[in-house]
């Protein structure tokens, strides 16, 4: 079935009729601001389905659901809600299978009149509840979930939470049938008890002691049979517990093997991790060596670069020098040509110029010598400058190398210091963790000892409580047995009283005339009053045993006399008796007193042994005083003869002899009317005994109630102690595990601290070595820098000196040229051309010599140039090799760094794998712990069964099991037979004796009552069997549904929480039908804990998980969720919505929400608004149609 529509009119804030259509398979979302009345939709559905509690409808009384008016609208006089379901598949009860739609209507008037209808036909509330029984719809069902309901599920008692499983398992109708059967059985048992009471009284008269013996034998046989079955059941349970304990032992061994395998794997992985750490350390050293090689190669490249620059500088210097020499050679060659021309022209003037040439030659020789000296000095200075340049180049090379070494050492020191700081931080962190772990270890150890002491104390208290409970239970059982016996005795007496009263009421033992007359008087009390009939004499007398024995003859005569108020009624009685055709009757009138007789002194009369009641007292005292009682049979006749004629009295002896005025009666009377007095006496005795028993039973019941209360308190305390013991044991196990974890963590942190200390010491040594090396490098840098500065100064001075020398050489050359010009002019002037010839000749010779010198210098310069070029080529050739070598070293360094990255990644992955193995180890520990608990539980169960068996048998379970065929025995049948035997034993009672003379009169009535008893007993057995069948079916359905829901609950929980674990557990109970349902939840990343310790969102998700788990196993016609997503954050809302979406193919959801994300999943959206204050209205949007229109 699915909800088709909801029509609301006059209900709460829905003043005007509202018709809400729902999506059949999909999600209908109802939204609206606070206070607009959207939750009234939920209340309307709950109300029309039969909700009778105003509190659950957020009201004080049922009248509150009727619209109460607003500032714009008058109050309504009626509230009406109609909920229409589609029934296309006919999955409902038989009466409504043929309907395709089923409309449920509820109407309430302010007068309090309520009307229920199905398809417009008036029905009972019971019919509506039966229609939705076991569908999850109702006050305790899971189809309507409100925000408060979520909290109730989480905080509910286990017994209340069980109702959800009952509803899903479909045992609500069985519970109702069982309650009805129990009520009928109680009524039948009461009827059977009354019939059995009467039958017991009648059978006591029939069977006597024989029946009591037979019943006793039956009781013993049943008891032995019950004891045998109980032994068999205990042995079977003991054997089953042993098998389960054996299975748990095997499971423990398997878990231990798995645990050992995980531990071995963990050790191997830890070894692998240590190996990776060692490889990383070695690899770091290898990288450091490769970096040093790269730095060394860069230093060689820098030196080669400096040498190449120096050679290029020398090459430039030589080129400049050759350029100057070439210019000078050109000048000299030009000059030589001029001189040759002058010589050709000046041959004629040679003589004239000879003196001047000689003089000029002498002067020129001096100047040339001076020039040569200066040239030699200049050359020496240039050589010195080259040496200084070489020294400076070498110092620059060393400075570069030392600077590189200093940079490398600085970077290395910074890296070492940074690593040292990280290690110090890690050491500090590990030290703090170690101290914290040590504190936790000490705290856990103290807590373990404290919990162990608590467990010992609890065990001692439990032993004392168990001893006290056992003693009190035995005493209580004795008291209950005693009370049951006395109650049974009381019921027997009561039954006997009722039987005797019925017999007395029928005047058994009297003549038929008396019985007929008294029955007529009883049937017509008005006639009896008119005739003045008070009863018979027996009604007003209570006799002592002596009166019945010794005065039997007198009593037999008078007991059936009819007592009248007045003798005036005798005529009326006569005519009445004639009309009724009655036999002979005797009447006495109380207003006609018999003569009073005065017995002799100290002589007892019959009146002294009788007790008279009511108006008969005076008449009876007068009448019975005339019968004298003699207790001495030997003196009776002598006394009677002496006084017989002297008194108007009759004598009665102990032998039954009666001496009257005119005759003597010998022998005891045997009239049945005496039985009336005996029964009357027995009734009095039974009433007195019943009153005493009632008082004693009341006192016993009070004492028993107090003892039961005390025993209940002791058992409650015992249960609390057991619960405390279990909780303490769990806490002790948890703390022990935590202690073991802290020990392992402490050991691990100690190893880490030791490793950090070793690393810090090694780093400190390495830092010290590098600092010393850096000091040496700094000293070397300082020395080299001083040498460089000194060489720079020397080079500067040398260059200045060379400049001076160059200037001096130029000055001398200029002077020499001027001298030559002057000589030529002088030779021309003095000796004409002769001297000029001589001068020209000398100049010619000088030019040739200078040319030769310049050519020699040019050859030497060419040699230097060739040498410098060769050196540069060599440097260039080796430079490429060095660059290639450097690139190769860098690539190798990069490869090592990349390998180090891979090693680091491998180290990280290895750490993660190690963490996963540790998690598996913890899971293995937990599984081993759970199996150990199961083993302990089964062992304790076996011990408990052994103790129970020892109480009823002196043979052990092993010996008894040899006699039991476990394959052929049906434990369920044995349990059923045991309960049946115990019921039969408890229903058996004692047998009392009855008078044999009543046997014939009672047989007819006995047969009739026996037939009724059998019918009632058969009805009781049928009802018991029905109840057993209902209970067995309920247990089976509950267990199946519980297991299914538990599995699904775990899956849904993990879906909503994206991990974690949750399960349902049954609380301890002797009967599965009385067991509660508890929830254990463990969200991801948290320890196992109680629900009350979870956050609001976690509680909501846990409750939603349970509801949806039930819904997935047993879908209800619809699921209405009222703001259940309110406590959830956005991430949880997304998972919640995803889960709802996954169920919409075969389910109908109605969701009331404020959350925008939840609104997005709806197929149909209803908005509830209040245009007018206090009056709700709805607006709907079909999402798919809206999307089509937008598209």
**Residue ranges per domain, the chain?**
1-132+1117-1191, 512-670
Helix/strand/coil for 83:
strand
Nearest-10 Cα torsion for 369, 370, 372, 374: 170
Classify domain 1-132+1117-1191 at the CATH class level.
alpha beta
pLDDT higher than threshold 70 for residue 1170: yes
pLDDT of residue 303: 77
Write out 898-951 in H/E/C secondary structure. Answer: HHHHHHHHHHHHHHHHHHHHHHHHHHHHHHHHHHHHHHHHHHHHHHHHHHHHHH
Spatial distance between the Cα atoms of 1186 and 1191, rounded to a whole number of angstroms: 8
Give Cβ neighbours of residue 1174 (< 8 Å, ≥ 6 apart): 13, 15, 69, 70, 71, 72, 73
The Cα-based distances of 726 to 458, 630, 1089, 1091 in angstroms read 10, 82, 15, 18
pLDDT higher than threshold 70 for residue 640: no
pLDDT higher than threshold 90 for residue 82: yes
505-512 CB contacts, 8 Å cutoff, 24+ apart: 507/536, 507/676, 508/672, 508/675, 508/676, 508/1001, 509/671, 509/672, 509/673, 509/674, 509/675, 509/676, 510/536, 510/559, 510/560, 510/672, 510/673, 510/676, 511/560, 511/583, 511/584, 512/583
Cβ atoms 301, 882 nearer than 8 A: yes
Of 58-67, 285-294, 500-509, 1090-1099, highest mean pLDDT:
58-67
pLDDT of residue 213: 42
Between 1065 and 821, where is the model more confident?
Answer: 1065
Q: Can you tell me the mean pLDDT for 343-362?
A: 62
Query: Where does 506-606 have alpha helices with state H?
Result: 512-523, 525-531, 545-550, 552-558, 570-580
Least confident of 551-560, 630-639, 819-828, 986-995: 986-995
270-279 pLDDT per residue, tens: 777 777 777 7
Which two structure tokens, joined as six digits, stand for 1087?
């320890």
pLDDT of residue 1088: 58
The Cα-based distances of 945 to 952, 959, 970 in angstroms read 11, 14, 19
Expressed in percent and rounded to 5, the helix, strand and coil fractions of the chain are 70, 10, 20
pLDDT higher than threshold 70 for residue 282: yes
pLDDT of residue 80: 92
pLDDT higher than threshold 60 for residue 352: no
Give Cβ neighbours of residue 790 (< 8 Å, ≥ 6 apart): none
Handedness of CA 996, 997, 1000, 1004 (dihedral sign): negative
Which two structure tokens, joined as six digits, stand for 614?
């009511």
Give Cβ neighbours of residue 302 (< 8 Å, ≥ 6 apart): 397, 400, 401, 404
The number of helices, as runs of H, and strands, as runs of E, in the chain is 23, 24
Proportion of the chain above pLDDT 70, given as a percent: 79
pLDDT higher than threshold 60 for residue 621: yes
Least confident of 301-310, 440-449, 1118-1127: 301-310
Least confident of 180-189, 597-606, 902-911: 597-606
Separation of CA 375 from chain center: 108
Spatial distance between the Cα atoms of 1145 and 433, rounded to a whole number of angstroms: 54
Which two structure tokens, joined as six digits, stand for 373?
């000296």
Which two structure tokens, joined as six digits, stand for 26?
């999909």
**610 beta partners:** 543
pLDDT of residue 978: 74
930-949 pLDDT per residue, tens: 777 777 777 787 777 777 77
Q: 244 — phi, psi (to 5°)?
A: -65, -35
Distance between terminal CA atoms of the chain? Answer: 34
Spatial distance between the Cα atoms of 1041 and 1046, rounded to a whole number of angstroms: 8
Q: How confident is the model at residue 209 (pLDDT cuts 50, 70, 90)?
A: very low
Helix/strand/coil for 535:
strand
Spatial distance between the Cα atoms of 304 and 400, rounded to a whole number of angstroms: 12
668-683 pLDDT per residue, tens: 554 445 556 666 666 7
799-855 pLDDT per residue, tens: 788 888 778 878 887 877 777 676 666 655 655 555 556 666 777 777 777 777 777
pLDDT of residue 81: 92
Radius of gyration for the chain, computed over Cα atoms and rounded to the nearest angstrom: 65
580-599 pLDDT per residue, tens: 777 778 888 888 888 777 76
pLDDT of residue 161: 75
1100-1117 exposure pattern, b = at least 16 Cβ within 10 A, e = fewer: bbbbbbbbbbbbbbbbbb
Helix/strand/coil for 417:
helix
Closest CA to 167 of 129, 125, 127, 116: 129
Q: 1116 — phi, psi (to 5°)?
A: -90, 165
Between 532 and 1002, where is the model more confident?
Answer: 532
Give Cβ neighbours of residue 1123 (< 8 Å, ≥ 6 apart): 39, 146, 147, 1152, 1153, 1154
Q: Can you tell me the mean pLDDT for 351-372?
A: 70
155-193 pLDDT per residue, tens: 777 777 777 777 777 777 777 777 777 788 788 877 777
pLDDT of residue 747: 79
Cβ atoms 889, 297 nearer than 8 A: yes
Spatial distance between the Cα atoms of 162 and 1078, rounded to a whole number of angstroms: 8
Proportion of the chain above pLDDT 90, given as a percent: 1
Spatial distance between the Cα atoms of 400 and 305, rounded to a whole number of angstroms: 11
Q: Can you tell me the mean pLDDT for 593-609?
A: 72
Q: Which residue has the tokens 């008893």?
A: 1013
Which two structure tokens, joined as six digits, stand for 1188?
């089509």
Cβ atoms 173, 133 nearer than 8 A: yes
The Cα-based distances of 341 to 395, 844, 1104 in angstroms read 56, 11, 128
pLDDT of residue 499: 62
Least confident of 437-441, 502-506, 713-717: 502-506
Q: 107 — phi, psi (to 5°)?
A: -130, 135
Handedness of CA 469, 474, 480, 483 (dihedral sign): negative
Spatial distance between the Cα atoms of 793 and 1046, rounded to a whole number of angstroms: 96
Between 348 and 297, where is the model more confident?
Answer: 297
pLDDT higher than threshold 60 for residue 406: yes
Between 646 and 1122, where is the model more confident?
Answer: 1122
Q: How confident is the model at residue 1184 (pLDDT cuts 50, 70, 90)?
A: low
**630 beta partners:** 653
pLDDT of residue 587: 86
Query: Where does 9-82 have alpha helices with state H?
Result: 39-48
pLDDT of residue 509: 63
Q: Where are the beta strands (DSSP E) in 752-830?
A: none
Q: How confident is the model at residue 995 (pLDDT cuts 50, 70, 90)?
A: very low
Handedness of CA 34, 36, 37, 38 (dihedral sign): negative
446-456 pLDDT per residue, tens: 888 887 788 78
Kind and range of the H or E run holding 137 = none
Q: 1181 — phi, psi (to 5°)?
A: -135, 130
């Amino acid at each position: 079935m699915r909800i088709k529509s909801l029509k609301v009119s006059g209900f709460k804030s829905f003043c005007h009729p509202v018709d809400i259509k729902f999506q059949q398979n999909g999600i209908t979302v109802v939204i609206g601001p606070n206070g607009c009345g959207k939750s009234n939709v939920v209340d309307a559905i709950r109300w029309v389905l039969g909700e009778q509690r105003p509190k659950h409808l957020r009201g004080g009384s049922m009248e509150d659901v009727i619209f109460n008016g607003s500032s714009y609208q008058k109050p309504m006089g009626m509230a009406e809600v109609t909920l229409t379901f589609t029934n296309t598949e006919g999955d409902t009860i038989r009466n409504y299978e043929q309907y395709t739609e089923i409309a449920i209507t509820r109407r309430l008037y302010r007068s309090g009149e309520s009307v229920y209808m199905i398809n417009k036909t008036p029905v009972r509330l019971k019919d509506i509840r039966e229609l939705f029984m076991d569908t999850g719809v109702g006050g305790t069902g899971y189809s309507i979930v409100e925000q408060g309901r979520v909290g109730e599920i989480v905080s509910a008692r286990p017994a209340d939470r069980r109702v959800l499983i009952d509803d899903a398992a479909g045992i609500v109708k069985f519970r109702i049938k069982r309650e009805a059967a129990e009520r009928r059985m109680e009524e039948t048992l009461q009827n059977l008890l009354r019939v059995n009471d009467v039958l017991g009284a009648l059978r006591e008269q029939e069977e006597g002691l024989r029946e009591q013996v037979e019943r006793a034998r039956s009781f013993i046989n049943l008891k032995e049979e019950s004891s045998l079955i109980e032994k068999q059941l205990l042995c079977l349970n003991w054997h089953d517990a042993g098998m389960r304990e054996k299975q748990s032992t095997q499971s423990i061994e398997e878990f231990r093997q798995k645990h050992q395998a995980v531990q071995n794997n963990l050790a191997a992985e830890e070894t692998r991790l240590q190996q990776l750490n060692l490889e990383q350390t070695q690899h770091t050293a290898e990288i450091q060596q490769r970096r040093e090689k790269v730095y060394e190669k860069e230093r060689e490249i820098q030196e080669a670069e400096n040498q190449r620059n120096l050679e290029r500088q020398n090459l430039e210097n030589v080129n400049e020098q050759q350029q100057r020499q070439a210019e000078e050679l050109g000048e000299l060659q030009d000059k030589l040509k001029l001189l040759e021309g002058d010589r050709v022209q000046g041959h004629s003037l040679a003589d004239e110029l000879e003196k001047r040439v000689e003089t000029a030659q002498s002067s020129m020789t001096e100047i040339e010598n001076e020039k040569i000296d200066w040239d030699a000095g200049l050359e020496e200075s240039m050589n010195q400058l080259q040496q200084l340049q070489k020294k400076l180049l070498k110092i620059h090379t060393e400075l570069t190398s030392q600077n590189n070494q200093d940079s490398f050492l600085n970077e290395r020191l910074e890296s070492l210091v940074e690593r040292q700081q990280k290690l110090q931080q890690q050491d500090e962190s590990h030290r703090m963790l170690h101290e914290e772990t040590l504190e936790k270890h000490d705290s856990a150890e103290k807590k373990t000892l404290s919990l162990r002491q608590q467990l010992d104390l609890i065990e001692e208290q439990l032993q004392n409580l168990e001893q006290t409970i056992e003693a009190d239970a035995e005493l209580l059982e004795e008291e209950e047995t005693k009370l049951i016996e006395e109650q049974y005795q009381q019921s027997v007496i009561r039954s006997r009283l009722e039987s005797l009263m019925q017999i007395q009421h029928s005047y058994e033992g009297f003549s038929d005339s008396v019985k007929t007359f008294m029955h007529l008087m009883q049937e017509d009390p008005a006639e009896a009053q008119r005739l003045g009939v008070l009863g018979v004499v027996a009604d007003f007398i209570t006799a002592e045993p002596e009166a019945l024995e010794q005065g039997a003859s007198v009593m037999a005569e008078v007991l059936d006399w009819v007592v009248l108020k007045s003798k005036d009624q005798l005529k009326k009685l006569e005519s009445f008796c004639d009309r009724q055709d009655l036999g002979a009757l005797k009447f006495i009138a109380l207003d006609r007193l018999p003569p009073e007789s005065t017995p002799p002194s100290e002589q007892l009369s019959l009146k002294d042994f009788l007790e008279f009641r009511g108006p008969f007292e005076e008449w009876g005292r007068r009448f019975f005083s005339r019968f004298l009682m003699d207790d001495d049979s030997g003196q009776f006749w002598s006394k009677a003869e002496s006084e017989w004629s002297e008194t108007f009295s009759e004598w009665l002896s102990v032998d039954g002899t009666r001496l009257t005025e005119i005759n003597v009666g010998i022998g005891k009377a045997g009239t049945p009317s005496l039985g009336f007095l005996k029964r009357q006496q027995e009734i009095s005795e039974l009433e007195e005994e019943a009153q005493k028993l009632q008082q004693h039973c009341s006192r016993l019941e009070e004492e028993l109630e107090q003892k039961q209360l005390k025993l209940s308190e002791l058992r409650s305390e015992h249960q609390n102690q057991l619960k405390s013991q279990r909780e303490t044991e769990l806490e002790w196990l948890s703390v022990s595990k935590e202690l073991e974890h802290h020990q392992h963590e402490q050991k691990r942190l100690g190893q880490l601290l030791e490793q950090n200390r070793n690393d810090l010491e090694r780093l400190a040594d390495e830092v010290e070595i590098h600092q010393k090396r850096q000091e040496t490098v700094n000293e070397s840098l300082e020395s080299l820098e001083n040498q460089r500065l000194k060489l720079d100064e020397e080079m500067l001075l040398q260059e200045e000196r060379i400049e001076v020398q160059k200037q001096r050489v130029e000055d001398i050359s200029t002077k020499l040229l001027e001298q030559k010009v002057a000589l030529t002019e002088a030779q021309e002037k003095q000796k004409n051309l002769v001297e000029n010839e001589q001068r020209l000749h000398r100049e010619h010779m000088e030019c040739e010599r200078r040319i030769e010198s310049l050519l020699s210098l040019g050859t030497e310069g060419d040699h230097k140039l060739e040498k410098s070029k060769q050196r540069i080529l060599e440097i260039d050739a080796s430079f490429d090799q060095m660059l290639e070598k450097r690139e190769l070293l860098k690539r190798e360094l990069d490869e090592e760094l990349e390998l180090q990255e891979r090693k680091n990644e491998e180290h990280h992955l290895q750490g993660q794998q190690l963490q996963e193995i540790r998690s598996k180890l913890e899971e293995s520990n937990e599984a081993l712990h759970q199996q150990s608990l199961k083993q302990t539980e089964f062992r304790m169960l076996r011990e408990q069964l052994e103790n129970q068996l020892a109480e009823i048998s002196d043979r052990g379970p092993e010996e008894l099991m040899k006699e039991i065929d476990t394959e052929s025995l049906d434990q369920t049948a044995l349990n059923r037979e045991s309960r049946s035997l115990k019921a039969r034993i408890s229903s058996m009672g004692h047998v009392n004796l009855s008078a044999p003379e009543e046997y014939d009169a009672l047989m007819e009535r006995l047969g009739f009552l026996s037939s009724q008893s059998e019918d009632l007993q058969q009805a009781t057995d049928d009802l018991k069997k029905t109840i057993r069948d209902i209970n067995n079916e309920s247990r089976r359905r509950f267990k199946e549904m519980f297991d299914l829901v538990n599995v699904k609950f775990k899956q849904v929980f993990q879906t909503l929480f994206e991990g974690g674990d949750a399960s349902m557990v049954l609380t301890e109970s002797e009967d599965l039908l009385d067991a509660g349902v508890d929830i254990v939840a463990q969200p991801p990343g948290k320890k196992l804990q109680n629900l009350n310790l979870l956050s609001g969102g976690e509680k909501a998700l846990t409750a939603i998980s349970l509801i949806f788990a039930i819904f997935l196993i047993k879908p209800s016609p619809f699921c209405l969720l009222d703001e259940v997503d309110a406590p959830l954050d956005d991430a949880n809302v997304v998972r919640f919505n995803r889960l709802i979406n996954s169920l919409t193919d075969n389910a109908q959801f109605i969701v009331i929400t404020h959350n925008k994300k939840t609104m997005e999943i709806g197929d149909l959206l209803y908005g509830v608004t209040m245009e007018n204050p206090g009056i709700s209205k709805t607006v709907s949007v079909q999402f798919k149609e809206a999307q089509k229109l937008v598209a």
